[in-house]
Amino acid sequence: MWAIPLLLLFRLQRYAIDARRLHRTSAHYAWTVLAALCAAVLVAVTAVITIALFQVGLWWAGLITLGPAGVPVLGLALVRRVFVPLGWYRAAYVFGYASRPGKDPGAYALCVAAWALGRAPSASGEAWIASRRNTRVPLGDAEVVTTALLAAARDDIATARTLMRSTLMLAESHPAVRELAGEWLACDAAERGAWRELDTDAVAARFPASPMTFLLEGIAACMLRDEHAPKAFELHARWVMAPYRRATRPLVQQALNVAPEQATVTATDVEPEADIATPPERAPLPRAIAAHLAFGAGRATATTFCTTVRAWDAALTDPTTHTWLARRAIELDAPLGAVDRALRELTTVISDDLARIADAARLGAPASHGPIGEALARRLRHGRLDALEDAFNAWIARRDQYVHRGQLASARPPIDEWREFIALQNAYAAAVTAGGVELRRLAFPHAFTTGSNMAAWLWNELREFSISHAISQWLLEEALAVGDAEAIELGHRNCALRVPTRLDDDFASTLDR
């Protein structure tokens, strides 16, 4: 009886979301209004029928009528407005399950339960949610988002942010789960003032836009004075349609009051130019020392790093420095070769200190061809390459241990496999970003061999199709970046395989094969 109205309601909501992402503002508002009217009519008709049944004494029939029609419509509002703020994760799970009909309602239920737990964290609640998450195999986006929300409940926001973004790599996609992940990322970026992350070309824009996400994206566009920034009327319209209007009203006012010359950016949006107070009349050696002290005491950036290395290279190759060292050697009656030995030792000490700071700030080797620049290039490149190879070796060694000890098959949840891969991928990305194209080409063969073996094992042995596909997709992107023809061919074959997900009709039979 209620199937057609419910399907119509969810279809209207999907049309509204699609219109948001296509910047069809008028269409988005029209679909949203139609969805709201459909929901209102459905609730009103259900209420009338239920009251009538109660009045004639058929209360049991009234309850039966209320459940299938009322819960899907009101369940989402109850989850967001009541159960999540109160921290009632069990109730959020039940109503989340009932309010998302489809092939996999448990996906959204698990996520909203973890969301509610964040308001009232408890060890028992985390264990209750984790036990249900671990029974869901193979891994999909719902399990990753649930783990991210559990990490956020422990105030591990960095881990939560990384896991939320990693869902974009997974083939399994539940629209409601992705919408929740996108909203969390949008709220996190707004809280940090990282408005660039909410721009239309950023990661957050690849998630379905909930009303809250749509509002925050409009605020970000106003803050950055984007050419597509909504006008005052449109921004207020987004604010009216979004939840938590009392909390977001100050942000709306702030966005509308930003002058063009006051566009808000974060410290990570624009890297400031170096401002090293080194008078040009100074000799090369004092200038290098001053640059080094300023670099170590201030914020380490690629600009300040390059300036410091070039200053040292100029100082250590300057004839004035060599003449001064030779005079000091004569004054101190130093043995023959003392100047060269002092230069080598000084180069080592300077390189060690600069490499330590560069590693901490994940800076690449500067383009300076001198004693310090070349020493740093070798040190940073080989050190990072060795660290990556050790990480990949540990990854495949754990797989080999898993194969030789079959009893570990039930001891390692799929989410741990995913977290290990994401950590390794992030380490690889940080190293090749800092080390440049040369380091990327050196690191890729080992990554490709190890990753291909892991992807095949995860697909064939553990039936973790989404994780395996994500690894293959990442390896293909890296192969295209370095131009490895053999890896590109294998990557295309692996990525062309159909990835079974819980949203497929034949998913259960696929697992039984």
Give per-residue pLDDT as tens, 216-253.
988 998 988 888 788 888 888 888 878 888 999 999 99
| CA–CA separation, 132 and 123 (whole Å) | 15
How confident is the model over 114-126, as a mean pLDDT?
Answer: 94
Q: What is residue 331's predicted lDDT score, i.e. its pLDDT?
A: 78
Contact (CB, 8 A) for 163 and 148? yes
How confident is the model over 114-130, as a mean pLDDT?
Answer: 94
Q: What is residue 65's predicted lDDT score, i.e. its pLDDT?
A: 65
Residue 42's pLDDT band (boundaries 50, 70, 90)? Answer: low
pLDDT at 477 over 90: yes
Q: 28 vs 13, 50, 231, CA distance in Å?
A: 10, 33, 16
pTM score of the predicted model: 0.74
Q: What is residue 252's predicted lDDT score, i.e. its pLDDT?
A: 92
φ, ψ of residue 503 to 5 degrees: the values are -85, 0
Report the share of the chain in percent with pLDDT over 70: 78
Q: What is residue 201's predicted lDDT score, i.e. its pLDDT?
A: 54
How confident is the model over 67-75, as a mean pLDDT?
Answer: 64
* Residue range 499-510, pLDDT digits in tens: 998 888 777 777
Average pLDDT, whole number, for the chain?
Answer: 80
pLDDT at 6 over 50: no
Nearest 5°: CA angle at 127, between 123 and 133?
145
Which segment of 8-12, 23-27, 168-172, 505-509 scores lowest on mean pLDDT?
8-12
Which segment of 142-156, 198-212, 340-354, 381-395 scores lowest on mean pLDDT?
198-212
Report the share of the chain in percent with pLDDT over 90: 30
pLDDT at 362 over 90: no
| CA–CA separation, 106 and 173 (whole Å) | 13
* Residue range 185-208, pLDDT digits in tens: 999 999 988 888 886 555 556 787
| CA–CA separation, 377 and 90 (whole Å) | 55
DSSP H helices, 206-337, are 211-223, 232-241, 245-257, 284-297, 302-316, 319-331
How confident is the model over 423-432, as a mean pLDDT?
Answer: 88
How confident is the model over 114-125, as a mean pLDDT?
Answer: 94
More confident residue, 1 or 86: 86
Burial state string for 93-110 with b = 16 or more CB within 10 A and e = fewer than 16:
bbbbbbbbeeebbbbbbb
pLDDT at 392 over 80: yes
pLDDT at 416 over 80: yes
pLDDT at 32 over 80: no
* Residue range 245-267, pLDDT digits in tens: 899 999 999 998 875 545 444 44
Q: What is residue 271's predicted lDDT score, i.e. its pLDDT?
A: 43
Q: 25 vs 16, 208, 210, 231, 234, CA distance in Å?
A: 9, 15, 14, 12, 8
pLDDT at 114 over 90: yes
Q: What is residue 184's predicted lDDT score, i.e. its pLDDT?
A: 94
User: What's the first-to-final CA gap in the chain, in angstroms?
Assistant: 37
Residue 386's pLDDT band (boundaries 50, 70, 90)? Answer: confident
